[in-house]
Amino acid sequence: MAEKNGQSGDGSTGSCVLHGKYELGRLLGHGTFAKVYHARNIQTGKSVAMKIVGKEKVIKVGMMEQVKREISVMKMVKHPNIVELHEVIASKSKIYFAMELVRGGELFSIVAKGRLKEEVARCYFQQLISAIDFCHSRGVYHRDLKPENLLLDDEGNLKVTDFGLSAFGEHLKQDGLLHTTCGTPAYVAPEVIGQKGYDGAKADLWSCGVILYVLLAGFLPFQDDNLVSMYRKIYRGDFKCPPWFSSEARRLITRLLDPNPSTRISISKVMESSWFKKSVPKSLKVSKEECEFDSLNVNGEQQEQETLNAFHIISLSQGFDLSPLFEEKRREEKKELRFATTKPAECVISKLEEVARAGKFDVKKSESKLRMQGQESGRKGKLAIAANIYAVAPSFLVVEVKKDGGDTLEYNQFCRKELRPALKDIVWTSPAESSLPLA
């Protein structure tokens, strides 16, 4: 069915519908193994980019594992500055990637017109580092960073794409290093060219350094018509910064393009550098969170505590346990936790507020709700946590705590290290289980 409703042999799609869900439109671009079309989700009306990969061609050149890896990686790395993968549909001969449609084109097309102003280059670089830091925190290394793989949306926000050459932490050999040579020559770190083991994070940072140089200069730091000569320059770190580079930019690029990976600057040090920290643009996501944060208890109105009936309790979660223990979810990140308590709502709110203040969170609260928001930005903006208190009976409450903004990994770490231990005294345990430790 998918084959019949997919693209026609000449590459045109007309008004063909894929799996009864996506209406395929015009061709946006194509590469050796894939074509990308504009498509519309018939159910939601939302536009997407539909990447269509021919299985036969991919299998023939032995790249099926690479395609599977790209799917796995894109499902893992959901970040404002990374192109989002909505879903994957497979047929007998094709694989369809429904991805976020990024309309602003490649960053390369802007740089091709000439160098960027320093504040504009900084804005793009900050977004790039934010995305790559997020990938590295998930054990994912891109390995093919270049301006052609950096897209811009309608509002000029940068989006990293093309994870076809990425690697997982699990691809590390026994020495803890990656060993596959890949990437685009002008952007590849010297240790990758040398075909020795390399640190994926440090290799990505070298590429980020080349990108920053290109944004500020308008040309590549290592250039030569002869590929071997260019590689020699890369090995030696043989480049010069143009006179218009500021001293801070020059210092940062020199540390990024250090040919010795062991002394090359780390991503945390990049983010601490004076050049990087200047005029950080406000994230739309963070602004939205702040708006929601301020609207929790408008005009000081008191909100009546919500009561749960049996159907509400069942709908809260599959396998919801009114026993005492926080739920655990193995092998994947959990975005909410629930517990029961016989303590009054004001006691729960007070305890949550105590935890929030200790963890440097700002707090908004009502009689049955509390929202805490971190004062510092994490990998995906400021961490925000919402708590809702539901009355099952006058003296028996269920408290639901969930991530309301920011990074899930940071949320899980906060819950495990700070929230759970602090709430242990107010969590209800049944007599039969009162001797059990809190999980």
Query: Residues within the annotated binding site for ATP?
Result: 55
CA angle 33, 38, 39 (to 5 degrees): 110
Largest Cα–Cα separation, the chain: 79
CA angle 213, 215, 216 (to 5 degrees): 65
Position 214, amino acid: V
CB-based burial, 324-338: b 16+ in 10 Å, e otherwise: bbbeeeeeeebebbb
Q: Are 13 and 28 in contact (CB under 8 A)?
A: no
3-state secondary structure of 278: coil
Specify the DSSP element, H or E, that contains 422. helix 420-423
Q: Is 144 a catalytic residue?
A: yes
3-state secondary structure of 288: helix
Structural tokens at position 427: 């969590």
Specify the DSSP element, H or E, that contains 432. none
Q: Are 214 and 114 in contact (CB under 8 A)?
A: no
Position 376, amino acid: E
CA angle 153, 218, 167 (to 5 degrees): 60
Which of 10, 133, 144, 162 does the annotation list as catalytic?
A: 144
Q: Which residue has the tokens 């940071």?
A: 410
User: 266, 247, 246: which is closest to 256 by C-alpha?
Assistant: 266
Structural tokens at position 97: 């990637």
Q: Report H helices in 104-217.
A: 107-111, 118-137, 190-193, 200-217
The binding site consists of 55
Structural tokens at position 300: 């000081």
DSSP 8-state symbol, 153: -
Structural tokens at position 374: 């971190």
3-state secondary structure of 66: helix
Catalytic residues: 144
